[in-house]
Amino acid sequence: MLKIGATTRLADIAASEVVNKKFTALAQAALRVATPHVRDMATIGGNLAQLHRCWYFRKPENRFFCTRKGAKPVSP
């Protein structure tokens, strides 16, 4: 089992030897988040707790069909 504190930086997760060896997918995912500068500051707690990082979801005027924002499917 791997325990990671919420304020652990994404950069540290991506660089961790044990994560790379035993939880490779997590290390690879952390390494693909944002940019090196952001990964040097961003925490895993903040990444998981942030508002859905979805361009469609975050778009205010809801031009996109997003069920998370309660949009109803448009019938053809």
Ligand X SMILES: Cc1cc2nc3c(=O)[nH]c(=O)nc-3n(C[C@H](O)[C@H](O)[C@H](O)COP(=O)(O)OP(=O)(O)OC[C@H]3O[C@@H](n4cnc5c(N)ncnc54)[C@H](O)[C@@H]3O)c2cc1C
Q: Which residues bind ligand X (CB under 6 A)?
A: 6, 33-35, 38, 41-43, 45-47, 49-50, 53
- Give me the least distance between CB of 21 and ligand X, in Å please: 23
**Dihedral of alpha carbons 15, 31, 40, 12, sign:** negative
Q: Which is nearer to ligand X, 34 or 66 (CB)?
A: 34
Q: Which is nearer to ligand X, 9 or 69 (CB)?
A: 9
- Give me the least distance between CB of 33 and ligand X, in Å please: 4
Position with the least CB separation from ligand X: 46
Alpha carbon separation from 57 to 5, 43, 46, 72 (Å, rounded): 28, 22, 18, 14
Q: CB–CB of 58/51 below 8 Å? A: yes
